[in-house]
Structure 1
Amino acid sequence: MGERPVRLGSARQRAVLAMLLLSPDRVVSVDALTEAVWQGDPPATARNQIAICVTALRKIFRNTADVDDLIDTVHPGYRLNSQGHHCDLRELDTAVSEARAAAGCGQLAEAAGHFEYALSLWRGGALAGLVGGAIDDEVTRLTEFWLDINEEYAALQMRRGRHRLVVARLTALVAEHPLREQARAQLMRAHQLSGRRAAALEVYREGRRILVEELGIEPSAPMQQLHSQILQDGDEPESASGAAELAAPEPDATAAVPAQLPLPPASFTGRAAETAALDRLLPDRLREGTLAIAVISGVGGVGKSALAVHWANRAADHFPDGQLFMDIRGYHEHDQPVSAMALLDQSLRALGVPGAEIPAKLEERAALYRSVLDGKRLLIVLDNVRSFGQVKPLLPGLGKCCVVITSREPLDELTGDYAATRLDLKVLTRAEAQEMLAAAIGADRVAAEPREAARLVELCDRLPLALRIAAARPATRPHWTLRQLTSRLEDRRRRLDVLSPGDGGVRAGFWLSYRELSPDAARLYRRLGLLTVPDFAAWVAAAVLGVDLQEAEDLIEQLVDAQLLEVCPVRPGAPTRFRFQDLLRLFAWERAWAEDSETEREAVLERAFGAMLDLADSGHQQLYGRRTLPAHRAGHGADLSMEYRSVVLADPVAWFESERDSIVAMVCQAVQSPGRERQAWELTACAVPLFEMRNYLEDWQRTAEKALEATRRAGDDLGAGTMLRSLGTLAIYRRRYPEAETLLASAMEFLERSDDILGLGIALRNLAVCARFAGDLDDAARQCRAALDAFDRTDDPAGRSHALGLLAQIELERGNGELGVDLSHRAIRASHEAGSPRSKAQNIYRLAEALLRTGELRRAEQACQDVISLTRAQGDRLGEANGLRALGEARWRQNLPDKAESALFAALAVAGALGDSFLQARIETDLACAEAVRGAPEAVLRLRRAHETFRSLSATLWEKRTGAMLDALSVAEEFAPVDAKVLVCLGGAR
Structure 2
Amino acid sequence: MDETATTVTTLDGLGRLLRELRRRQARHHGGSPATYRDLAAATGWSHGVVGAYLSGQVLPPTDRFDVLIRLLGATPAEQGRLATARDRVEEGRRAVLAPPPGPRQLPSALPAFAGRAETLAGLDRWLGHAGHGVVAISGTAGVGKTTLAIHWAHRLTDRFPDGQLHLNLRGFDPTAAPVPPADAVREVLGALGAEPARIPAGLDAQAALYRSLLAGRRMLVVLDNAATAEQVRPLLPGGPGSLVLVTSRAQLTGLVVADGAHPVPLDLLPADEARWLLTARVGADRITTEPRASARIIAACARLPLALAVVGARLAVQPALTLAALADELEQDRLTTLDTGDPAVDVRSVLSWSYLRLSPDAARIFRLCALHPGPEIGLAALASLAGQPPAETRRLVTELVRVSLADEPGPGRYVLHDLLRAYAGELAAATDTQAERARLRDHYLHTAAAAAMRLHPARRPIPLPPPAAGVVLADVSDATAWFRAEGRVLVTAVRDSADTGDDRYAWQLAWTLADFLDREGRWQEWFDTQSTAAAAAERLGDESWQLFAHRSAAGATIRLRRFGLGRELLERSAQLAAGTGDRVAQAQAENTLAWLLELEGDPAAAIPHAQRAAELFAAAGEHRFAARAVSGTGWYAALTGDFHRALAICTRALTQQRELGDSAGLAGTLDSLGYICDNLGQHPAAISWYGEAVSTYQQDSDRGGEAATRARLATTLAKAGDASGARTERELALAIFDELDPESAAALRREMADGSS
Shorter-normalised TM range: 0.7 to 0.9
Deviation at 1:803, TM superposition (A): 1.8
Give the equivalent residue in structure 1 for 2:225: 384
Pairing 1:914–2:737 present = yes
Alignment of 1:942 with 2:737, yes or no, is no
Which residue of the partner structure matches residue 631 of structure 2? 805
Q: Verify: 1:621 aligned to 2:453, yes or no.
A: no
Which residue does the alignment assign to 2:666? 840
CA–CA distance in 2 between the matches of 1:790 and 1:463?
60
Residues 134-145 of structure 1: matches in 2 within 5 Å? none
Deviation at residue 776 of structure 1 after TM alignment: 6.0
2:443 pairs with 1:608? yes
Among residues 301, 318, 334, which one is paired with 1:495 in the alignment? 334
- Offset of residue 665 of structure 1: 4.1
Structure with the bigger RCO (C-alpha within 8 Å, sep 6+) is: 2
Preserved CA contact (<8 Å) 2:161 2:218: yes
User: Which residue pairs with 1:259 in the alignment?
Assistant: 104
What is the distance in 1 between the residues matched to 2:384 and 2:584? 31
The answer for the alignment partner of 2:324 in structure 1 is: 483
User: Aligned in 2, Cα 1:393/1:827: closer, same or farther, shift over 3 Å?
Assistant: same
Per the alignment, do residues 267 and 729 of structure 1 end up closer, same or farther by CA in structure 2, a change over 3 Å counting? same
- Which residue of the partner structure matches residue 121 of structure 2? 276
Residue 425 in 1 paired to residue 266 in 2? yes
User: Cα offset for 1:576?
Assistant: 5.6
Q: CA-to-partner distance for each residue in 1:545-597, whole Å, 9 max, x for gaps?
A: 3444444443343332221222326xxxxx664332222222233333234x1
- CA–CA separation in structure 2 for the residues paired with 1:453 and 1:379: 38
Give the Cα separation in 2 of the matches to 1:888 and 1:277: 45
- Residues 271 and 841 (structure 1 numbering): CA distance in 2 closer, same or farther, change over 3 Å? same
Q: 2: distance between equivalents of 1:341 and 1:691?
A: 60
Aligned counterpart for 2:207 among listed residues 357, 366, 370: 366
Report matched runs for 1:547-558 at 5 Å: 547-558=388-399
1:590 aligns with 2:413: no
SS of 1:295's equivalent?
Answer: strand
Residues 792-849 of structure 1 show CA distances to partners (whole Å, capped at 9, x for unaligned) of 4543233223222222334556777665444424433443465431111112323444
Query: Deviation at 1:669?
Result: 4.4
What is the alpha-carbon distance in structure 1 between the residues aligned to residue 742 and residue 152 of structure 2? 54
Q: Is the 8 A contact 1:694 1:914 kept in 2?
A: no
- 2:385 partner letter: V
Q: 1:258 to 1:775 in 2, by over 3 A?
A: closer
The DSSP-based 3-state class of the residue aligned with 2:250 is coil
Q: Using a 3 Å threshold, how does the CA distance of structure 1 residues 428 and 678 change in structure 2: closer, same or farther? A: same
2:311 alignment partner, one of 470, 473, 491: 470
Match of 2:405 among 549, 564, 579: 564
2:251 pairs, out of 386, 410, 417, with: 410
**Cα distance in 1 for residues equivalent to 2:242 and 2:586:** 78
Query: Do residues 344 (structure 1) and 344 (structure 2) align?
Result: no
2:730 is equivalent to residue 899 of structure 1: no
Q: 1:705 to 1:533 in 2, by over 3 A?
A: farther
Structure 1, unmatched stretches of 5+, are 1-104, 107-249, 570-574, 928-937, 947-990
> What's 1:525 paired with?
366
| 1:640-692 deviation digits (Å, cap 9, x = unpaired) | 44x724x33xxx444444444444444444445441x4444433433333333
- Note the residue ranges of structure 2 that are not aligned, 5 or more in a row: 1-14, 17-94
Q: Give the match's secondary structure for 2:475.
A: helix
Task: Quote how far apart the aligned CAs of 1:440 are.
Answer: 1.7
Cα distance in 2 for partners of 1:918, 1:450 equals 33
Shift of 1:387: 0.4
Q: Which TM-score applies when normalising by structure 1?
A: 0.61
Shift of 1:436: 1.5
1-side partners of 2:454 and 2:122: how far apart?
46
Could you report, residue by residue, the CA deviation over 1:374-423 in whole angstroms, capped at 9, with x for unpaired residues? 33333221111010111112222214322111101111122222222211
Distance 1:410 1:759, change over 3 A: same
Identify which range, 707-716 or 731-740, moves more after superposition: 707-716
> 1-side partners of 2:191 and 2:261: how far apart?
26
User: SS state of the match for residue 385, structure 1?
Assistant: coil
Distance 1:387 1:891, change over 3 A: closer
Please give the residue correspondences for 1:569-580 in structure 2 after superposition, counting only pairs within 5 Å.
577-580=413-416
Deviates more, 1:323-332 or 1:784-793: 784-793
Q: Secondary structure at the match of 2:213?
A: helix
Answer whether contact 2:444 2:490 (CA < 8 A) is retained.
no
CA distance in 2, matches of 1:743, 1:635: 33
Q: Distance in 2 between matches of 1:637 and 1:905?
A: 52
CA spacing shift, 1:438–1:856, aligned 2, 3 Å: closer
Q: Does 1:581 align with 2:455?
A: no
Secondary structure of the 1:382 match is strand
Deviation by residue 1:11-54 (Cα, 9 ceiling, x = unmatched):
xxxxxxxxxxxxxxxxxxxxxxxxxxxxxxxxxxxxxxxxxxxx
One-letter identity of the residue aligned with 1:363: D
Kept after mapping to 1: 8 A contact 2:710/2:733: no
Name the CA distance, whole Å, in 2 between partners of 1:361 and 1:917. 72
Query: Are the equivalent residues in 2 in contact too, given 1:688–1:700 (CA < 8 A)?
Result: yes
Q: Deviations over 1:457-497 (max 9, x none)?
A: 11101101111122222221111111111101112xx2122
TM-score (norm 2): 0.78
**Cα displacement (A) at 1:889:** 5.4
Q: Judging changes above 3 Å, is the alpha-carbon distance between structure 1 residues 452 and 784 closer, same or farther for their aligned structure 2 residues?
A: same
- The whole-number CA distance in structure 1 between the counterparts of 2:163 and 2:623 is 81
Q: Residue deviations 1:338-382, cap 9 Å, x none?
A: 112222222222333333332222222222222233333332211
The separation in 2 between residues aligned to 1:487 and 1:603, in whole angstroms, is: 32
One-letter code aligned to 1:602: R
Helix, strand or coil: the match of 2:99?
Answer: helix
Tell which structure's C-alpha radius of gyration is larger: 1
The residue identity in structure 2 corresponding to 1:594 is A
SS of 1:568's partner is strand
Query: How many angstroms apart in 2 are the aligned matches of 1:803 and 1:634?
Result: 34
Percent identity for Structure 1 against Structure 2: 30
The 10-residue stretch of structure 1 (510-519 or 304-313) with the greater mean CA deviation from structure 2: 510-519
User: Out of 695, 702, 707, which is 1:876 matched to?
Assistant: 702
Residues 490-535 of structure 1 show CA distances to partners (whole Å, capped at 9, x for unaligned) of: 12xx212222344732222222222333344333333232222333
> How is 1:301-316 mapped onto 2 (pairs within 5 angstroms)?
301-316=142-157
Trace 1:87-106 onto structure 2 (pairs within 5 A).
none
Deviations 1:902-955 (A, max 9, x none): 34751454145314466568867987xxxxxxxxxx8xx434xx9xxxxxxxxx
Asked if 1:761 is matched to 2:574, the reply is no
In the aligned structure 1, how far is the partner of 2:639 from the partner of 2:125? 73
Answer with 503-512 or 857-866: which moved more. 857-866
- Would the alpha carbon gap of residues 776 and 864 (structure 1) be closer, same or farther in structure 2, given more than 3 Å must change? closer
C-alpha separation between the residues in 2 aligned to 1:850 and 1:638?
54
2:568 to 742, 751, 759: 742
**Does the CA-based 8 Å contact 1:292-1:402 persist in structure 2?**
yes
Q: What CA distance in whole angstroms lies between the structure 2 residues aligned with 1:442 and 1:655?
A: 45
> Is 1:535 matched with 2:376?
yes
Distance 1:525 1:612, change over 3 A: farther
Residue equivalent to 1:241: none
- In structure 2, relative to structure 1, the CA distance for the partners of 1:876 and 1:684 (3 Å cut) is same
| 1:321 pairs with one of 135, 138, 162 | 162
Q: In structure 2, the residue corresponding to 1:255 is in which secondary structure?
A: coil
Which residue of 2 is the match for residue 181 of structure 1?
A: none
Out of 446, 463, 483, the position equivalent to 1:631 is: 463
Amino acid at match of 2:700: Q
Where does residue 446 of structure 1 map in the other structure?
287
